[in-house]
Amino acid sequence: MRRPFGSVVLDAAVRVLVPALMLYAVYVLAHGHYSPGGGFQAGAVLAVAMVLVPLVQGPRSKWGLGRRAAVILAGLGTLVFPGLGLLALLWGGNVLDYGALPFGLEGAAGRALATMLVETGVALAVMGVFVIFFELFETGEI
């Protein structure tokens, strides 16, 4: 898409939808921590929020993620899981033994925090990859 698709009505709708989508993504991430769902679904909803603005306002909109930021977020999100696994090894536990992590929390609380960090990393990686695909498609590189 080379030019903006939107109108005044679509622009107003996006201004309401994007914050609501971001809040919903945080809810899906937090609720998915204790039930089915979580990181992937939250990342997909965040990606929709990031892609909606350029779709409606055009590629020159001043809001959203650029390709560089999306690559950085995707990379950081991907490194969270092995990073936590190696950190557990450094603190004397087994690989991915979240109870050995130095969070200052005992047992289940430390494991719950580490699981939430892993889910957050998954969400960032998924969002970054989806935005990268959108950017590549937008520029005609794929």
- The per-residue pLDDT of the chain, averaged, comes to 85
Collect all residues with Cβ–Cβ distance below 8 Å to 123 and sequence separation of at least 6: 25, 29, 38, 39, 40, 42, 43, 46, 77
pTM for this one? 0.84
- Which of 76-80, 91-95, 101-105, 115-119 ranks highest by mean pLDDT? 76-80
What does the pLDDT look like over 7-65, one tens digit per residue?
888 888 998 999 999 999 999 999 876 776 689 999 999 999 988 888 888 777 777 77
